[in-house]
Structure 1
């Protein structure tokens, strides 16, 4: 299982992430339709047009299994677990200060 703090890179675009909350499902973390690899590992393949919606730097992406990653470098690929896209984690509203 991928551990918290693990840094991963896309094989097909500029995307880089760090794992904030590990989950078993993140073992199948992909970007642009290809599995993500440790930063500095060999890259291969091409961006799948079906998974080319991009991602945003500084945003946290989550899945239903509790996995959470933080995008440290944005790219053209869609972050997915298998074929299921991750969604941007919504910020919690701050309490009223009245």
Structure 2
């Protein structure tokens, strides 16, 4: 998988764009994400139903994965079962 790839959730409406990607399976709602939406939707896992927010970047603790949410949904993002968190904005420098 390379940067710029769009992934769609099999369990909800979430769509993300890959910014940075390492080794592992990107999941949403407890189901693996793919470039095409499957014909049969996967069941949304209760453990991974925190939702995603449009325009937010999601990262893992090691900084190997970074995803940009381009369409929000009910599922939350994870890599190999480990939840991703929202990336905090960098503070602007103070001007005097």
Distance 1:8 1:43, change over 3 A: farther
* RMSD between aligned residues: 1.3
Which residue number corresponds to residue 86 of structure 1?
Answer: 84
Deviations 1:23-59 (A, max 9, x none): 223xx10000000010345453111111101011000
Give 1 or 2: higher helix fraction. Answer: 1
What is the count of residue pairs matched by the alignment? 95
* Unaligned stretches of 5+ residues in structure 2: none
* Unaligned stretches of 5+ residues in structure 1: none
Which residue number corresponds to residue 60 of structure 1?
Answer: 57
Distance 1:6 1:43, change over 3 A: farther
Which residue number corresponds to residue 34 of structure 2?
Answer: 37
TM-score by length of 2: 0.91
TM-score by length of 1: 0.89
User: Deviating runs (4+, > 2 A) in structure 1?
Assistant: 39-44
